[in-house]
Copies of this chain bind each other. A is one copy, B any other.
Amino acid sequence: MNIVIIGGAGFLGQKLARALVARGRLNGQPVRRITLADVTDPVGIEGAVPVDTVQCDITDPASVARVITDETQVVYHLAAVVSSHAEEAFEEGMQINLHGTLNILERCRALGTAPLLIFTSSLAVYGGEVPDPITEVSLLNPQNSYGTQKAVGELLVNDYARKGYIDGRGVRLPTISIRPGKPNRAASSFMSSILREPLNGQGTNCPVDEDFRHYYLSPRKCVENLIRVAEISAGDLGGNRILQMPGRTLSIRQMIDAMTAVAGPEPARLISWQPEEAVRRIVGGWRFDIHADRALALGLEVDGSFEENVRAYIEDDRPGG
């Protein structure tokens, strides 16, 4: 099985690749080769499965065609520019998130091999005057361009799958926390920083109140779920190929308490609490009362507790850990 991960230099692409190398199998078949494709150079991965790294810009159809070939059985499409970025740079967001996704779908269609394609959508497809709880049959009503582009991707994945051009699946990821590394241009960036920086011994600011609630999943579970999504039989998925990946609704206070339970009282003292209006305005409209019953029934999983997320960060990602 040849697997291409587009966005393979990214946070989840790298973790997914490592998990697939460690596993060595997908859908009952041996993984023969993994190709990490990204516009920035992906970090290579050592292991029992050969991992190629290749430059690819999904806004260029020819570049996509070099990466997805008739030898590709599985495509993970993780490439994107995130929420605040797509909001500030509208054209870039459209080119990468919308046309880039179309280029990938069109390449798969042109091949005629109907590869398995897994697309990562986002909670940003939800919003506006849609009643809680958010379920599998709630209107997608994005309130920013990133969410719009992800919702378009979902619709197209469903249609290309229905036509038999791909074996398509999409998952709306919860906000993945704790994300390692530097803050990024997602409006959700602080939802990792407020834990990551203190766990790394650094100060950080929380721009919202401690009772701000949101929907989360750990990187570990997210990667397990991304693999599980590829292994669900097409028949079990039915007509709608898009799933809400399950998460857990937590307040900032609950997350900090979990950090304190795992790492003691010191980290929480490194958090300052300066309200940031710009961030509040964006995330204030985000939805957290989200039900993912279908995904749970299909075997996707949530973390047992946020303590697990904190422990996973310390074990997997903390610098010098």
Question: Which residues A135-182 have CB closer than 8 A to chain B?
Answer: 136-145, 148, 151-152, 155-156, 158-159, 162-163
Taking a contact as CB atoms under 8 Å apart, the answer to whether B128 and A239 are in contact is yes
Cβ–Cβ contact B137 & A138, under 8 A: yes
Q: With CB as the reference atom, state the residue of chain B lying closest to A105.
A: B94
Per the bound structure, the CA–CA distance linking A130 and B128 in Å amounts to: 20
CB distance B155 to A151 under 8 Å?
yes
Check A142 against B163 for contact (C-beta < 8 Å): no
Interchain CB contact (< 8 A) of A142 among B140, B151, B152, B159: B159
- As a 0/1 sequence over residues 240 to 256 of chain A, the CB contacts with chain B under 8 angstroms (1 = contact) are 10000000000000000
Cα distance A151–B139 when bound, in Å? 11
Given contacts A156-B148, A158-B148, contact A139 B139 (CB under 8 A): yes
User: B-contacting residues of A (Cβ < 8 Å)?
Assistant: 90, 128-131, 136-145, 148, 151-152, 155-156, 158-159, 162-163, 238-240
When the two chains form their complex, are residues A140 and B155 in contact, meaning their CB atoms are under 8 A apart? Answer: yes
Q: B140, A239: Cβ atoms under 8 Å?
A: no
Interfacial chain B residues near A128, Cβ < 8 Å = 239-240
Contacts of A145 in B (CB 8 A): 159, 163
Determine chain A's interface SS by DSSP, over half rule: loop
Choose one: B90, B139, B158, B238; the contact of A129 (CB below 8 Å): B238
Q: By the criterion CB–CB under 8 Å, are A159 and B148 in contact?
A: yes
Evaluate contact between B142 and A139: CB separation under 8 angstroms. no
Beta-carbon contact of A240 and B140 below 8 Å: no
Which A-B residue pairs are the 8 nearest by beta carbons? A148-B159, A137-B139, A128-B239, A130-B137, A152-B152, A148-B155, A151-B155, A145-B159
In the complex the two chains form, is B141's CB within 8 Å of A139's CB?
no
Report the nearest B residue to A165, measured CB to CB: B90
Which residues in B have their C-beta under 8 angstroms from that of A163? 90, 145
Q: Give the distance in Å from the alpha carbon of A141 to the alpha carbon of B156 in the complex.
A: 11
CA distance A240 to B130 in the complex (A): 10
Alpha-carbon separation in the docked complex, A140 to B130 (Å): 13
Q: Which residues of B contact A129 (CB under 8 A)?
A: 137, 238-240
Q: Which residue of B lies closest to A239 (CB)?
A: B128
| C-alpha spacing A149/B131, complex, angstroms | 26
Chain B residues with CB under 8 A of A131: 137
CA distance A43 to B158 in the complex (A): 38
Partner of A240, one of B141, B152, B158: B141
Give the complex CA separation of A156 and B143 in angstroms.
Answer: 11
Contact A152 B143 (CB under 8 A): no
Residue numbers in B under 8 Å from A155 (CB-CB): 140, 142, 148, 151-152, 155
CA–CA, A101 and B304, complex, Å = 45
- The minimal Cβ–Cβ distance linking A34 to chain B, given in whole angstroms, is 31
15 additional A-B residue pairs with CB within 8 Å, beyond A137-B141, A151-B155? A90-B163, A137-B138, A137-B139, A138-B139, A139-B140, A140-B140, A141-B158, A142-B158, A143-B162, A144-B159, A148-B156, A148-B158, A148-B159, A152-B156, A155-B155
